Each structure stands twice: as structure tokens, then as C-alpha cells.
Amino acid sequence: MMRLVIWILAGVVLGGIVHLVTVLVLPRTATQDAYMRIEPLTPVNAVAALPTPSPSTATLPFMDPAFAVAVCRYDLSETPLKLTAPVSQAYTSVSFYTRYGVAYYAINDRAAGRRLIELELMTAAQKSRLPDDEEVTAADRLIVESPTLTGLVVLRALSPEPGSMPVARGILAAAQCRPNPLEG
């Protein structure tokens, strides 16, 4: 009897470990996460529009149908990137996700405070190679540091009513994401 209790206890402890390990490992092994779903639809280091979600087709679950969405799937292993997006009358935002879907930075048009959202994306190593004086003169440069080499930049433009969807899509069509090599 005592022996059975010990085996059950051992099973419970081991079960706890199994639970923690599976939860922690799942993001790395998921085959249908957002990045994997977006990858076949988008080129690397360029902006591509995602189709507007409908009941029969949606790139990702839980997309907001009131928004036009475009994605820049990035790879910083060669050079940093520069991202520019015009802002719409309504609402425009730029969100940054790691390869595993962690939202590490997001900014909207009002926070950016300009007619054009302009951001530089680089890794911590690339940022540390920026010349010192350049950092001083570039106080108004908005630099975003990516924790991973690859990931997703998601641009969203609100269409406040269905009729304004073409305008929102047009705004995103003018957005750019391109390699921006460090000087020197």
C-alpha cells in the first residue's frame, strides 16, 4: 500500500515536470503559429499586404476585419532595416513581433507624431556598432531593437467604415521595408 502511494506521488511530480516542459517547449515546436502561416505569403524584408479576413479565408485567427493589414517578414542577419509607413486619417499602427509571436514593441500614428512613421530595426549587436557621434545627432531617429534575428512587423490601418477599406489598403501599399546597411 505504502509502495503504491510512493509510485503515485512519483507520478504526480513527474506529471508536473511533463506539464511545465510541454508548455515551455510548445512555442518552439508549433507548426501552425503566426509566422509559419504568414511565411508562404510574404517575401523577406519587404512589405506585403495580407488579404482581408472573411469567414472562408483568414490568414490568422482573430484578425480584426476593420483593419487593412500588411506584413514585413524580416531577417536582420545581413543588415538592419528601415521601415516607413504613411499614416491614414483614421488610425495606423506598427507592431513588432519576434519569430515566436512575442509583441515586443508597438507604436501608433499619434505616438509617432508625424505624417510618416519612420523606424529603424536592428539587433542589439548592430545597434552597439552605431558610431557614437551618430547616436547623438540622431536623437529623433526612432530605433527599435529586435530580440531575435527574424520576426514580423505588422502594419495596420483602420477602415472606420467598410467603404474606406480601399483607402486603408492604399496607405499600406505605400509603406516600405528595406535593408538599411550601417555606414562605415
Amino acid found at 53: P
Considering only residues 127 to 156 of the shown chain, the ones binding other proteins according to CB under 8 A are 147, 152, 154, 156
Contact between 124 and other proteins per CB under 8 A: no
Of 32, 150, 21, 46, nearest to 98 by C-alpha is 150
Contact between 41 and other proteins per CB under 8 A: no
Determine the interface stretch with other proteins among 5-13, 76-84, 126-134, 167-175 (rule: CB under 8 A): 5-13
Contact between 125 and other proteins per CB under 8 A: no
DSSP 117-174: EEEEEEEHHHHHTS-HHHHHHTTT--EEEESSSEEEEEEEEE-SSGGGHHHHHHHHHT
Contact between 32 and other proteins per CB under 8 A: yes
How does strand 103-108 pair with strand 143-146?
Answer: unpaired
Partners of 49 in beta bridges: 70
| CB closer to other proteins, 7 vs 78 | 7
- Give the integer Cα–Cα distance in Å for 128 and 164: 43
∠ at Cα 145 (110, 83), nearest 5°?
55
Determine the interface stretch with other proteins among 63-71, 72-80, 117-125, 135-143 (rule: CB under 8 A): 63-71
For other proteins, the binding residues (CB under 8 A) are: 3-4, 6-8, 10-19, 21-24, 26-27, 30, 32-34, 36-37, 53-56, 58, 60-62, 64-66, 90-91, 93, 95-97, 100-108, 110-111, 147, 152, 154, 156, 158-161
